[in-house]
Amino acid sequence: MDIRTNRSSRIWRLGVIGDILDRVSGIFDLLATTAWILGEK
pLDDT digits (tens, 9 = 90+) for 29-38: 999 999 999 9
- Alpha carbons within 13 angstroms on the beta-carbon side of residue 22 total 6
Looking at residue 3, what is its pLDDT?
66
CB 26: neighbour CB atoms within 10 A? Answer: 10
Flag whether the pTM goes above 0.75. Answer: no
The SS3 assignment for 1 reads coil
Rounded Cα gap, residues 2 and 4, in angstroms: 6
Nearest-angstrom CA–CA distance, 12 and 32: 30
What kind and span of H or E run contains 4?
helix 3-40
Provide the pLDDT for residue 10. 82
Predicted pLDDT of residue 40: 87
